[in-house]
Amino acid sequence: MCKENEDFNENNNNGEQGSTFETGSITVKKDGHFIHCLTVIGQIEGHYILPSQNKTTKYEHVIPQLVAIEESKEIDGLLIILNTVGGDVEAGLAIAELLSTMKTPTASLVLGGGHSIGVPLAVSCKRSFIVPTATMTVHPVRMNGTVLGVPQTLSYFEKMQDRIARFVENNSQITADEFRALMMKTGELIMDVGTVLDGEEAVKCGLVDELGGLSDALDYLESVIEEEN
């Protein structure tokens, strides 16, 4: 890391951003512009604390960081790197909604996996990228714990799935009906419903904008920053 990047991150580490080890984020300088990198890994933790052996992304840590990035005059762009199995639906949607409404240039990069609620997170940025070997799993909403066997429960699930489908439609090239079809597909997952898409398939169906890697995402951010300046 160059000396300027070290100084910038050292200053951030002493403020609200926290250290790289605590937040999974870092700010780097590319062609004269500062780009902040934020990782969403493991399971997205919601209102309940997950066991200590789980790799988690805590929404109460991510949300303040996004606010700080949006308000910062020093950060020119934001790169979200995703390798997540999914997690709490409302926590994931909350982060995705914040990302989709940011004025700061944003790009997402799916590595490994962007499953479940990781799908809305991937499409929430201005431009989404996925590497060829990554996969994305689209499936219906699930719930742990006690579930009441009443019609209202099914109605609740349907409303939540509609929220996700509408968000994905508004932030990608896939329609809500096409997304629901992927969500309810049978015959692909063992003892489950849904669809597993690799990088090429995710781009082909319009879920992700572009097949590419780290350099592609950084080049996109750099071009947008240059245009805005």
- Residue 24 phi/psi, 5° resolution? 65, 35
What CA–CA distance (Å, rounded) separates 225 from 68? Answer: 18
Q: What DSSP designation does 21 have?
A: H
What CA–CA distance (Å, rounded) separates 221 from 186? Answer: 38
**Which residue in 108, 124, 139, 172 is the catalytic one?**
139
Tokens in use for 35?
A: 């780009």
In the residue annotation, 47 being an active-site residue is answered as: no
DSSP string, 23-57: HSEEEEEETTEEEEEEEEEEEEE-SSPPPTTS-EE
Tokens in use for 74?
A: 């020093």
What CA–CA distance (Å, rounded) separates 53 from 55? Answer: 7
**Which residue in 25, 36, 115, 116 is the catalytic one?**
116
In the residue annotation, 116 being an active-site residue is answered as: yes
| Helix (H) or strand (E) segment spanning residue 136 | strand 135-138
The full length of the chain comes to: 229
Residues with a known catalytic role: 116, 139
